[in-house]
Chains A and B, each alone.
Chain A
Amino acid sequence: MFTLPFPAKFSLQRYLFKRLKRENKTELTARRIYILPSREGMTFAIVIFLLLSGAMNYNNSLLFIYTFLLAGMGIITMYHTHNNLLHVVCHAVATPAVFAGEKLHVPVQLFLKPGQTNTRYSLELKLANIKFKNKKDRLKTDEQNQYFDLQPAENRQACFIINTEKRGYTDPPELILASRYPFGLLRAWSNLLLEQKYLVYPRPLSKAALEKINFSSEDGKGDTGKGFDEFKELREKQPSDSYTHVHWKAYARNETMLVKQYGGSVSENIFLRWDDFPQFDTEKRLSLLCRLLIDASQQQQIFSLQLPGELIPPGTGKVHLHQCLKALALFPATSEAGL
């Protein structure tokens, strides 16, 4: 059967993005810059056409000159608009990971290739919003359009906020850098498909959902159950104690530094295991583990994580938490079938 080479509702931008490879740093070269007359440019062309027909009809030399001057300016503008984008370099900057459902801030850095001396005016950086079909969503993303000039030595950062749905690595959104400078008769643009791996942790299970879960099963909780909400005792801080174990709330109340004393026994450590929650599907399990990891970390407990094929040894602190959450985020979605 005959099929169209593009979807029934053809989108130029979608087509242009399809041809691109992700790049960490993109320099706008002549090959990547597209240019088309804007709506104003079309009106301008109509005016020129009217003037030309007037000049031809009246055989009016000065009107001819004037018309050709206008047309010439229109043509030359093409070159200027194009040059206004040329040699702009874009680059997506790495940012800390977020949890699924949170907003991800994508900082995009723009600067001119070294050696460029002309300021670029009225650049417009926007989300390409090729995914949205209805106008309302598109208008919402238009609120994030950013307009700026770019000086030769300037390093400008534009930030885009995108919603995250899925855990794992997320790519920067499709961006468009455009300009209508100087006269708005033409619009030059370049499609930017930047490369940067933004990590999105799984969505942590809500506290309410956590309470509903029945932890009564002994083997389900194992040794870890006891030390969940309590710690052994509080004692006064000694110089050798780490500040991470200081009970800050108590300090605020009593003005004596108390240190949370964790027992030396294994049961004081939290050991989170994938296999402990066989009743849930993969995503829910990941969500739950995520929640438990966050809580454990907040309570300054030592915790370790065991996933199929991966064991993260006990530890504490932000880096450790990140390591655990990253393991959850990158946990293969299809492996459940194999278990």
Chain B
Amino acid sequence: MKTIPSRLRHGLPGVLLAIFIVMSLIPHLVKIPFIFSGFIILVAGWFMLHSIKGVLLPNKVIRLILLITALLLIILFFGFSFSQRMSITLLAVMMCLKLMEIKSVDDRRNIAVIIFVSLFLIGSHFLFSQSIYIMLYNIVLLIAFMTILMLYIRKPLAAPAFKNMLREPLTILVQALPLAVVFFLFFPRISEPLWSLPDDDAGSQTGLSDTVYPGRITRLSDNNEVAFRVFFHGRVPASNNLYWRGPVLSYTDGYIWSRYSDEDIKLNTKNIVYNSGKVEYTLTLEPHQQRWLFALDIPATVPADSFFSHDYQLLMEKNLLQVKRYTLTSYTNYTFSGLSTIERQRNLAIPEDANPRTRQMGISWRNKLDNPQAIVNKALDYFNQQAFYYTRKPPVMLDESIDQFLFEFREGFCEHYATAFVYLMRAAGIPARLVTGYQGIEKNEVGNYYMVRQSDAHAWAEVWLESKGWTRVDPTAAISPERIRADILNRQARQLAFKNLNLPKLAGYNQHFLKDSLTYMSDNIDNMIYFWNQWVVGFDSLKQKSIMQLLGLSSELKYLVSMMIGLGLFIIILLSVYWFMLARRIKDPVKREYQRLLARLEKSGLNLQANSGPLEIQALAIQRFPSQKENIVDAISCYINLQYARNSEGLSPKIFLRKVRQLKFNRLNL
């Protein structure tokens, strides 16, 4: 097999380039179709062999074939629609093909382009995740690529000592940090996007959705990612009130629960009275790519750019793609009044033909009991006294799922109980709806705030009682404690969720020390994330404004003006440093002007010696410019008097300056 001679091989820089190109694509590799990931790894491997063993790179024809194949595959997978995923795939594939085009170690232009595209792709990781880990990962990649760039710029291509290789890039990075921070704080942020987002397809979504079917929320029970973090400004509410309200679902076909398409309308007049249990808190919500915000049941205020829907959900105008922080006030005691006809209809509607046994039971309860409260209690007693089990591993229920659950399996997670309960209530003639959200909190011992995880996802019911309006009922809570399956109790033993680096708490309860220290560590890590989200990821035009206000700059105009003044000051400081450090300025104005005079004389063709005294210079100048004899004598004698004479009355530096400036020397033309 033909190879290139070893002195022309890339060696270490080439190997590093191949490795770090793959590393820079790792966060993307899982998102782009498998075949492209394979292609990229193949090409990088080829280049690595090329660097070490001197294996030849493909020639023009093969490269062209590869290019066409890649383009066809991209069209095959993505069609002609432009999306983020497609453009990232395209860029990654093109970059790898560019790798094959590197002609030699000296092919600086291609290598630089590859490294710059890599830097761009690294930046695009932030569109998918803004966690502190991805930032650290990207900084490592950034240093790596700058080092590789430096290795290739080195000429002669010396084998660098590993110790020194990183010194220059690291130094430059550290020196660039203050600049970056200043830019970050003061670069004007705009709150509206410049152009509409081409693709909100930001990876796979976790968390709640606006449809629920048996098993939907169960899926989240293993997920230890933090959904949001809460800081309470005052008292922490009692645990039986810790229901974080999310999507409210009124429509059902007997299996799936969802929202009516016209329900996201803005609430105009509130039909609620807040009684007591005021809670103030700040919530930091992880992006979930949905419109709704979570709030403690039930919110009284609305964060910026969001509104109440008519079923008291907090909705945003657009999907949440970034961490959002908002402060709210909620009341745990409240009374609703007035249910509109359409709402009543919708919250009583159940399909005619689905779940006949449940329907039958509901109707029989309505006939037996006249009081809605009694019907609610009857249902809760039913769950409590019959052999209902609460488990994270419910059997699959597909047809007549509620009938199956209530009369056959009797094992389920919260959504099974909540949906069955709502269904029963509707059958019994009580308006009821399904509410999803989260239940409970977990204290972070380090950061004095609370975490709510995806595994805390919950579903409960709201029934309309004439006296209180919408009333929260949690049928899951009615299950007899002895019938809670061990898998629920063991929820504390969280599984390792790699994505969040939550440490596994595998130790049992008896090993308190280990458990506590692990908790402490994971609390610490979460605390860091909290800070990160609050001050780095969540830094926006509002925060910028508050910093400006701290500095005493309130209005936009002031901001602009002070930017200009700051910039001007900066330039002036730079210039003065230049003057003082480099131009070795002479402070005495007389001496300075005299030096200028000498410089002018020299420029006009006079050959002055460094040690010539003023009188010699006077003689030379007169010889050269006889017409200006008087002026020259005047100026020089003025200088002599100012500098050397004991008595220089009637003379001042200003007079000397004027006299010198009167002198006009023409250039010598011989």
Residues of chain A within 8 A of B124, CB atoms compared = 54
B548 interface hit (Cβ, 8 Å): no
Residues of chain A within 8 A of B195, CB atoms compared = 57
B664 interface hit (Cβ, 8 Å): no
Q: Are the C-beta atoms of A69 and B153 separated by less than 8 Å?
A: no
Residues of chain B within 8 A of A54, CB atoms compared = 123-124, 127
Q: Are the C-beta atoms of B119 and A182 separated by less than 8 Å?
A: no
Given contact pairs A53-B194, A70-B119, A147-B156, A77 touches B172 in the complex (Cβ within 8 A): yes
Residues of chain A within 8 A of B336, CB atoms compared = none
CB proximity to A under 8 Å, residues B136-151: 138-139, 142, 146, 149-150
CB proximity to A under 8 Å, residues B164-223: 168-169, 172-173, 175-180, 183-184, 187, 189-191, 193-195, 197
Residues of chain B within 8 A of A180, CB atoms compared = 153
Given contact pairs A58-B127, A68-B187, A77-B172, A183 touches B150 in the complex (Cβ within 8 A): yes
B536 contact from A44, A65, A124, Cβ within 8 A = A65
Give min CB distance, A193 to chain B, whole Å: 19
How many residues belonging to A are interface residues under a CB distance threshold of 8 Å? 44
Give min CB distance, A18 to chain B, whole Å: 16
- Bound-state CA distance A31–B578 (Å) is 11
Q: Are the C-beta atoms of A40 and B184 separated by less than 8 Å?
A: no
Given contact pairs A61-B539, A65-B536, A69-B176, A44 touches B116 in the complex (Cβ within 8 A): yes
CB proximity to B under 8 Å, residues A12-51: 30-31, 39-40, 43-44, 47, 50-51
Q: Are the C-beta atoms of A59 and B177 separated by less than 8 Å?
A: no
Q: Are the C-beta atoms of B540 and A62 separated by less than 8 Å?
A: no
Give min CB distance, B383 to chain A, whole Å: 47
Given contact pairs A43-B113, A53-B194, A147-B155, A63 touches B123 in the complex (Cβ within 8 A): yes
- Bound-state CA distance A118–B214 (Å) is 70
Given contact pairs A43-B113, A54-B123, A182-B153, A62 touches B176 in the complex (Cβ within 8 A): no
Given contact pairs A47-B116, A60-B130, A63-B123, A183 touches B146 in the complex (Cβ within 8 A): yes
A251 interface hit (Cβ, 8 Å): no
Given contact pairs A39-B109, A44-B116, A59 touches B193 in the complex (Cβ within 8 A): yes
B582 interface hit (Cβ, 8 Å): yes
Given contact pairs A59-B190, A68-B180, A68-B187, A51 touches B172 in the complex (Cβ within 8 A): no
A183 contact from B149, B177, B180, Cβ within 8 A = B149
Residues of chain B within 8 A of A67, CB atoms compared = 123
A339 interface hit (Cβ, 8 Å): no
Given contact pairs A59-B190, A71-B183, A183 touches B116 in the complex (Cβ within 8 A): no
B135 interface hit (Cβ, 8 Å): yes
- Bound-state CA distance A30–B578 (Å) is 10
B610 interface hit (Cβ, 8 Å): no
Interface string of B100-125 (1 = CB under 8 A from A): 00000000110011001101101110
Interface string of B590-605 (1 = CB under 8 A from A): 0000000000000000
B538 interface hit (Cβ, 8 Å): yes
Chain B interface residue bracket vs A? 35 or more
Give min CB distance, A184 to chain B, whole Å: 4
Given contact pairs A183-B149, A184-B112, A61 touches B538 in the complex (Cβ within 8 A): yes
Q: Which chain A residue has the least Cβ–Cβ distance from B130?
A: A62
CB proximity to B under 8 Å, residues A133-166: 147-149
B391 interface hit (Cβ, 8 Å): no
- Bound-state CA distance A76–B171 (Å) is 10
Q: Are the C-beta atoms of B539 and A72 separated by less than 8 Å?
A: no
B180 contact from A47, A72, A80, A124, Cβ within 8 A = A72
Residues of chain A within 8 A of B109, CB atoms compared = 39-40
Q: Are the C-beta atoms of B149 and A184 separated by less than 8 Å?
A: yes
- Bound-state CA distance A269–B647 (Å) is 77
B150 contact from A51, A147, A182, Cβ within 8 A = A182
- Bound-state CA distance A60–B538 (Å) is 9
- Bound-state CA distance A253–B119 (Å) is 76
A331 interface hit (Cβ, 8 Å): no
B483 interface hit (Cβ, 8 Å): no
Q: Are the C-beta atoms of A73 and B172 separated by less than 8 Å?
A: yes
A122 interface hit (Cβ, 8 Å): yes
Residues of chain A within 8 A of B538, CB atoms compared = 61
Give min CB distance, A43 to chain B, whole Å: 6
CB proximity to B under 8 Å, residues A153-206: 180-184
Q: Are the C-beta atoms of B190 and A61 separated by less than 8 Å?
A: no
Residues of chain A within 8 A of B146, CB atoms compared = 73, 183
B531 interface hit (Cβ, 8 Å): no
Q: Are the C-beta atoms of A61 and B153 separated by less than 8 Å?
A: no
Given contact pairs A59-B189, A80-B168, A184-B112, A122 touches B180 in the complex (Cβ within 8 A): no
Q: Are the C-beta atoms of B112 and A43 separated by less than 8 Å?
A: yes
B349 interface hit (Cβ, 8 Å): no
Residues of chain A within 8 A of B177, CB atoms compared = 69, 72
CB proximity to A under 8 Å, residues B350-369: none
Q: Are the C-beta atoms of B153 and A122 separated by less than 8 Å?
A: yes
Residues of chain A within 8 A of B112, CB atoms compared = 40, 43-44, 184
B197 contact from A58, A69, A73, Cβ within 8 A = A58
- Bound-state CA distance A183–B108 (Å) is 11
Given contact pairs A73-B146, A77-B172, A40 touches B108 in the complex (Cβ within 8 A): yes
Q: Which chain A residue has the least Cβ–Cβ distance from B182?
A: A68
- Bound-state CA distance A53–B178 (Å) is 21
- Bound-state CA distance A191–B108 (Å) is 24
B176 contact from A50, A59, A60, A75, Cβ within 8 A = A75
Give min CB distance, B564 to chain A, whole Å: 20
Q: Are the C-beta atoms of A68 and B113 separated by less than 8 Å?
A: no
Residues of chain B within 8 A of A274, CB atoms compared = none
- Bound-state CA distance A122–B190 (Å) is 43
B154 interface hit (Cβ, 8 Å): yes
Q: Which chain B residue has the least Cβ–Cβ distance from A80?
A: B172
- Bound-state CA distance A44–B109 (Å) is 12
A56 interface hit (Cβ, 8 Å): yes
Q: Which chain A residue has the least Cβ–Cβ distance from B193?
A: A57
Q: Are the C-beta atoms of B150 and A60 separated by less than 8 Å?
A: no
A121 interface hit (Cβ, 8 Å): yes
Q: Are the C-beta atoms of B155 and A124 separated by less than 8 Å?
A: yes
Q: Are the C-beta atoms of B172 and A56 separated by less than 8 Å?
A: no
B126 interface hit (Cβ, 8 Å): yes
Given contact pairs A47-B116, A62-B135, A73-B173, A181 touches B154 in the complex (Cβ within 8 A): yes
Interface string of B625-666 (1 = CB under 8 A from A): 000000000000000000000000000000000000000000
B537 interface hit (Cβ, 8 Å): yes
Give min CB distance, A100 to chain B, whole Å: 31
Give min CB distance, A228 to chain B, whole Å: 48
Q: Are the C-beta atoms of A69 and B142 separated by less than 8 Å?
A: yes
- Bound-state CA distance A148–B116 (Å) is 26
Q: Are the C-beta atoms of B183 and A68 separated by less than 8 Å?
A: yes
A66 interface hit (Cβ, 8 Å): yes
Q: Are the C-beta atoms of B108 and A184 separated by less than 8 Å?
A: yes
Interface on B for A, CB 8 Å cutoff? 108-109, 112-113, 116-117, 119-120, 122-124, 126-127, 130, 134-135, 138-139, 142, 146, 149-150, 152-156, 158, 168-169, 172-173, 175-180, 183-184, 187, 189-191, 193-195, 197, 321-322, 536-540, 582
Q: List 28 A-B contacts (CB under 8 A).
A: A30-B582, A40-B108, A40-B109, A44-B112, A44-B116, A47-B116, A57-B197, A58-B127, A58-B322, A59-B191, A59-B322, A60-B130, A61-B539, A62-B537, A63-B126, A64-B187, A69-B177, A71-B179, A72-B175, A76-B172, A76-B175, A122-B154, A122-B155, A148-B156, A180-B153, A182-B172, A183-B146, A184-B112
| Beyond A54-B127, A69-B177, A148-B156, 20 additional pairs, beta carbon < 8 A | A40-B108, A44-B116, A47-B116, A51-B123, A53-B194, A57-B194, A60-B322, A64-B183, A66-B126, A69-B139, A69-B173, A69-B180, A70-B119, A71-B183, A76-B179, A80-B172, A147-B155, A182-B172, A183-B149, A184-B108
- 8 closest residue pairs by CB, A with B: A72-B176, A72-B179, A68-B183, A68-B180, A184-B153, A40-B112, A147-B155, A62-B126
Interface on A for B, CB 8 Å cutoff? 30-31, 39-40, 43-44, 47, 50-51, 53-54, 56-73, 75-77, 80, 121-122, 124, 147-149, 180-184
